[in-house]
Structure 1
Amino acid sequence: MLVAQGIYESPTGRDISGLIIAYSISVSLLIVSELLQRCCNVSSSITRKIIHVGAGLCVLCVIGLFDHWQYAVIPHTSFIVVNAMIRRWRILKSMEPPNPMTLGDAFAAVIGERFGRRRHYAAIDTDTPPEGKTYEGSAACFVAIFVGVLFVGYICSVISWTDALISAVVGTFFEAVSPWGTDNLTVPLSVCSAIYAIRM
């Protein structure tokens, strides 16, 4: 059970085991996705989605393993840096394409690529306009964020339908206007900020 204690609280045994499990899951996702891409010729766009969705959802599996929230956020925060390094030096083929994130962005990418017909573009994202985002993808992003926030809220018994609706609107907006793959950061940060603002 997470507790809101001081920022300098020493880690407990549960915190340490939680860190080990969280990192083990994340590293396993990277290894499996890379093997799928290199050995089974699975598209890197698919393996990247597997990594992002799997890493995002593993939060629900490990969050209850920690005693302090300060240690619960370490694994995913550190992987922001790891992800940036992997993309910068193209270390893993399974993460090469510049899209998605956990649910919202992943669904936007999948639905947009498969069913998207009407495109819109972030104003400053002029490098690859033919690959711009679609309204169909944005609609899928809205639904995914709305359902995802409701699901997490149900588990934590804190989120209402209104919270989920506002979060989905905010997250979908940032997914739509964020260029160059930056929605990997802007979507989760904007959704979390929206929920925090509502709950203040």
Structure 2
Amino acid sequence: MSFLPSPTWGTLTSLALSYILTLCVVLIVEIFSRSFNIPLFISRKIIHVFAGTYMFGLLYIFEQWEYVILLTGSFVLLNFIFIRLKLFKSMGKNLILIFVVVEDFTGTNINDLLIDPQEGATLGTVYFAFSVTFLLWWFHEGWKKGFPRGREYIAVAGMVAMTYGDAMASVIGKTYGRNGYQLIGAEGSRRTYEGSLAFFIVTLVMVPFFWWLMSPPELTTTEYFTGALISASVGTALESLSPWGTDNLTVPLGVSLSLAILGY
């Protein structure tokens, strides 16, 4: 029994295009980053935004949802390897999997293991790929019903919040952030009010924009705006609470799960 259907020619073409395009973008960003001394957090966010935007495109260029899951799932492993081998500065460094065990048995400060003190690198790219894989697997009925008749728009809301909201929060926070804060119990998750405000506003705008592009018949005009408000509120709260790059898990999964629970 095979878990994957036989791929169509269109599926094979989409797979090849996805891998080639991703490699080209990463290499180009890496070359420009090294050549022109582009700040590392900027080059990472460029790749981050490309990845999140392209994940939205997967809904339309793939004929078989199973191979979308194969593609995004493979990036979990590939990002893991890239970080381990330190192939691309723009994708981050350090690789720690079993956080609690390492801390308990070695006495090592987990903050020192998970973050490059000079560059703030985390396993965020691995987490983000995992989140996207899970969301597209859970909300995949659109491939069977025919877009936009499906609930992929719920997955898209979480992906958009993490892609655009997080990227803008990082850029604004690092560039213009003057007023920092850290919520109680959120050790390792220091944010700025300016960055969090940017996250909220950008998510509030981008979620209904992408929903408008998809035009899901299930949503009313009112739900476009209430859904965007929920996405922005939940996403901003989770982003401010999540340390060591784990916002790449909590934000997309939390936003999408909240919308699903509330009946969107």
Normalised-by-shorter TM-score class: 0.7 to 0.9
Tell me the residue number matched to 2:80. 84
Question: Which letter maps to 2:232?
Answer: A
- The alpha carbon displacement at 1:185 in A equals 2.1
Provide Cα deviations, 1:53-108, integer angstroms capped at 9, x if missing partner.
Answer: 11111123342111222322333333233333333443311223437752111111
Q: Name the TM-score, length of structure 1 as normaliser.
A: 0.82
- The alpha carbon displacement at 1:174 in A equals 1.0
Matches within 5 A, 1:68-107: 68-96=64-92, 97-98=120-121, 102-107=163-168
2:176 pairs with 1:115:
yes
Question: Which letter maps to 1:151?
Answer: F
Tell me the residue number matched to 2:227. 163
Which residue of 48, 51, 56 corresponds with 1:52?
A: 48
Tell me the residue number matched to 1:185. 249
List gaps (5 residues or longer) in structure 1: 1-6
Residue aligned with 1:24, SS: helix
Q: Give, in whole Å, the separation in 2 of the partners of 1:122 and 1:12.
A: 50
- The alpha carbon displacement at 1:126 in A equals 4.0
Q: Name the TM-score, length of structure 2 as normaliser.
A: 0.64
Residue aligned with 2:163, SS: coil
Tell me the residue number matched to 1:140. 198
Q: Call closer, same or farther: CA 1:13–1:64 in 2, change over 3 Å.
A: same
Tell me the residue number matched to 1:172. 236
Indicate the larger mover: 178-187 or 81-90. Answer: 81-90
Larger radius of gyration: 2
Indicate the larger mover: 118-127 or 65-74. Answer: 118-127
Residue aligned with 2:121, SS: coil
Q: Give, in whole Å, the separation in 2 of the partners of 1:133 and 1:81.
A: 29
